[in-house]
Structure 1
Amino acid sequence: MAAQARLSQPSPSSSSSSSSSSISQINPAAQPLRPPPYATLLSGALSGLTSCVLLQPLDLLKTRLQQAHGSHAPFGGKTRRLLRTIEGVVEKDGVKGLWRGTVPTILRNVPGVAAYFYSVTELRRALGSRPVAYLSTANAASSSSSSSSAATPTSTGNLLAGATARVVVGFILCPITVVKARFESSNFAPSENRTLALSLRSIYAEGGVKGLFRGFSATALRDAPYAGLYLMFYEALKVGLAPALGEAGEEGDAKAETTQSRMVAGLCAGTLATFATHPFDIIKTRVQTQRVRQEGAEGASAALLGIRAVLTGAGASTGGARPPLSSLFFDGLGLRCARKALSSAIGWGIFEGGRDLWVKRERQRLARESGNVIVER
């Protein structure tokens, strides 16, 4: 049988063209590869861990500036207020005090970012499976064998996918968000929040189950538009920046995305989305860093209490003229913009880079198994 099989094989000279055609048809480098869920989740978790550890001081300082507007001189410069806040934290807790709240931040961000990226990926893939009115448009080359999807999400589709994924994940992790805000706040002594479990018990004792979700309405009002706007801006900017910062794709029909183009798009998208949603971040911080009182409202009305607290200057430790409305609702904007822009650039850069790394290694594996050689460029 082996001899018969060898005799049935065509000679190399007579089959060179057909062999080349066959190889090109099964060339792994030309086939679209879909990273498995574990690669998406792992890339998202790594991006969340990196950004939250590096940028936690910015989050803590932002919380301190927002929690008690008016505790500083009303006409003091923002830089002076920031320096005073840093000095106060370092004097009280040392340099490591700038990383107070890192543990709940990691516990929230690592699974949260991983779940968010996975949810966004699946929602966008669902929108790309077929054209949906107002949400996705048909690809011109959808019938091509190299096309990985039949449609491309529109700006509205990206906005809806980002907002939906963020709200669902935010609701699940809201108790950890409340703990994180209290860890970062100076309204609560470190002894009250020595551990995550102790802090959760304290919150439950004060407000029950509803206390664990305190401020969710304000959080959703911030996170839903932020995530939606961010994804919309990011995808549009990434496409627009690709010709300038990318390189010609291997098939020559598109511009390849690079880490540089993704990070620049992430910085710009993060800044724009942060500016648009910052007032809701002020309200969320006020709601989650104030102690529950007997007359305190719960549920959706907590957001209204947060708005009233901002407008009336609640939490101020000193008197004086009330600051202008623009200052009330944009306190800590610079810090949040810096953190969100850097976090978005780092997060999306690592996330998409991790998925690209999986695709690259998988293509190399398939090439070795099929006897093809992929030349790295």
Structure 2
Amino acid sequence: MPSTASESDAGVQQRVRSAIKTLGVGGFAGFTSCVILQPFDLLKTRMQQEHGYLRDFPESRTQRLKRNFRQVIQVDGWRGLWRGTVPTIVRNVPGVAAYFYTINELRWLVAVWQVPLLSVHGATQVATSQKSSKLARLSTTGNLLTGAAARVAIGFFLNPITMVKARYESSHYARTAYPSIASSLRAIYQEAGFSGFFRGFSATALRDAPYAGLYLAVYEQTKQSLGRLTLQDRSGNAWVVSASGLTAGTLATIFTQPFDILKTRMQTTPSSMLNMPAEKIGIVAMTRHVLATDGIGAFADGLGLRCARKAASGMIAWTIFEFGNRWYSS
């Protein structure tokens, strides 16, 4: 009996250390990617917020990107490219840490419980040992569902900060109107009440659920395939991990692009520009507005920037997560 109790205590301590490790490495991964890649987010938001440019101005997307870049530099200097970094850090550092922790624990539970259609037979030992940085191995369906569930849950709780981030990056709102995160949250509440904090969440969920599910499924499948090709451990090869993250990020981004446009428009377009109350700005109304003002081509706005940002972010985050866990465990 004492031996059993001792083993149980050791197992609990191991799980606690694993949770702290996962949160710490995930938070560092989120911080690194959001600081390095913030200019991509800002320029993407500036392009996606524009109304009528595809219809009224003969500019290519490359010309629009250059124009927005010049405008940011002229108004705010080079530092202006990092406008919105603070709310990005506030959202992404705990968000990425919580996502990695949630996905790690959720996959571990699914693997241990051997959920039909989601688990892989024989992967329980990998999930239970927690001695390496490997995620518990699941089926493709398991990858899709656990990735989607974790991403949407985290996105819901962080949507108020996502709203602030979008307003910081948008040129529709003056810097003086949002001098701090606290004042930004107050302004959003005064504009649309409590529901204003969750404007755009419907589009965010429709973007994040398939994005996270597809990303995790493609990431794991690519990592296994490349690992077999290189005849090396799929989680111990930097090239395999980075290439898998790059591939997964690009494919998932392209598939979910229309919902990213709707999310940006919903969160950055003043109600006065839409001629409707703030509480009426929903995903259906915004879809109609985008089609009426810019046509279906608007759903490709910022796709290149988003692909570059998401692919690079995924590559950075998952490389740090995989090797951070590996280093910490050694």
2:52 counterpart SS class: coil
Instruction: Tell me the C-alpha RMSD between the 2 structures.
Output: 2.3
Deviations 1:86-141 (A, max 9, x none): 00110011010000000000000000000000000011101111422111120289
Output aligned runs, 1:48-87, within 5 Å.
48-71=30-53, 74-87=57-70
| Kept in 1: contact 2:207–2:260 (CA 8 A) | yes
Q: Tell me the number of residue pairs that the alignment of Structure 1 and Structure 2 aligns.
A: 309
1:261 aligns with 2:240: yes
What is the CA distance between 1:346 and its match in structure 2?
Answer: 0.1
Larger radius of gyration: 1
1:245 Cα deviation after fit: 4.2
Answer yes or no: is the 8 Å Cα contact 1:160–1:228 preserved in 2: yes
- 2:286 is the counterpart of 1:306: yes
| Corresponding residue of 2:10 | none
Question: Is structure 2 residue 117 aligned with structure 1 residue 134?
Answer: yes
Structure holding more helix per residue: 2
Distance in 2 (alpha carbons) for counterparts of 1:140 and 1:103:
40
List runs of 5+ in structure 2 lacking aligned partners. Answer: 1-13
CA separation of 1:68/1:256 partners in 2, compared to 1, >3 Å: closer, same or farther?
Answer: closer
Give the equivalent residue in structure 2 for 1:296: 277
The TM-score, its normalising length taken from structure 1, stands at 0.77
- Note closer, same or farther for the CA distance 1:54–1:147 as it changes in structure 2 (3 Å cut): closer
Asked if 1:345 corresponds to 2:315, the answer is yes
CA distance in 1, matches of 2:61, 2:192: 35
Structure 1's 66 and 354: CA in aligned 2 closer, same or farther, altered over 3 A?
Answer: same
Counterparts in 2 of 1:93 and 1:158: CA distance versus 1, 3 Å: same
Which runs of 5 or more structure 1 residues have no equivalent in the other structure? 1-32, 250-254, 314-321, 361-377
Relative to the length of structure 2, the TM-score reads 0.88
Change beyond 3 A, Cα 1:346–1:245: farther
Which one of 281, 284, 292 corresponds to residue 263 of structure 2? Answer: 284
Does the 8 Å contact 1:138/1:152 carry over to 2?
Answer: no
- Alignment partner, residue 5 of structure 2: none
Comparing 75-84 and 156-165, the one that deviates more: 75-84
Amino acid at match of 2:223: K
Gap change, CA 1:110 and 1:141, over 3 Å in 2: closer
* Contact 1:286–1:306 under 8 Å retained in 2: yes
Contact 1:242–1:257 (CA under 8 A) maintained in structure 2: no
Q: Secondary structure at the match of 2:93?
A: helix
1:256 deviates by: 5.1
Equivalence map 1:176-325=2 (5 Å): 176-245=161-230, 247=232, 257-292=236-271, 295-296=276-277, 298=279, 302-313=282-293, 322-323=294-295, 325=296
Measured after TM superposition, the shift of residue 78 of structure 1 is: 1.9
Secondary structure, aligned partner of 2:137:
strand
SS of 2:120's partner is strand
Deviation at 1:76, TM superposition (A): 2.0
Q: Secondary structure at the match of 2:193?
A: helix
Alignment of 1:122 onto 2:105:
yes
**Identity over aligned residues, as a percent?**
51
